[in-house]
């Protein structure tokens, strides 16, 4: 699986796999990052792509000392399942 990239121009974390791109869209608001939605193409679902994408996005938020707003249900569910990321929530 390829590495996750932060495409700041598009405000998306991206991960390409087998010719398909998964994205976690966000908006920066000062010291906050608001995750608005996550899209994993059907062709690459069930392979941990979404989790890898969100884990990298949250690690990036931590590195940048950003507070996280999980508007996206997938991001909210990931944080609920991984308590180590709960401290990031705004």
Q: How far is CA 26 from CA 18, 20, 43, in A?
A: 24, 19, 23
- Please give the Cα distance from 30 to 4 (Å, whole number): 23
Identify whether the C-beta of residue 80 lies closer than 8 Å to the C-beta of residue 53.
no
- Tens digit of each residue's pLDDT (9 = 90 or more) over 14-64: 999 999 999 999 999 999 999 999 999 999 999 999 999 999 999 999 999
**Alpha carbon of residue 84 to chain centroid:** 15
**pTM for this prediction:** 0.94
Q: How many domains does the chain have?
A: 1
Identify whether the C-beta of residue 79 lies closer than 8 Å to the C-beta of residue 85.
yes
Residue 46 is part of which domain span? 5-88
* CATH number of the domain to which 42 belongs: 3.40.630.30
pLDDT at residue 10 above 70? yes
């Amino acid at each position: 699986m390829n590495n996750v990239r932060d495409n700041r121009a598009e405000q998306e974390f991206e991960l390409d796999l087998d010719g398909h791109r998964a994205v976690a869209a966000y908006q920066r608001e000062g010291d906050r990052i608001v995750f608005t939605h996550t899209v994993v193409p059907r062709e690459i679902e069930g392979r941990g792509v979404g989790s890898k994408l969100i884990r990298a996005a949250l690690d990036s938020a931590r590195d940048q000392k950003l507070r996280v707003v999980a508007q996206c249900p997938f991001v909210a569910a990931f944080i609920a399942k991984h308590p180590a990321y709960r401290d990031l929530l705004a």
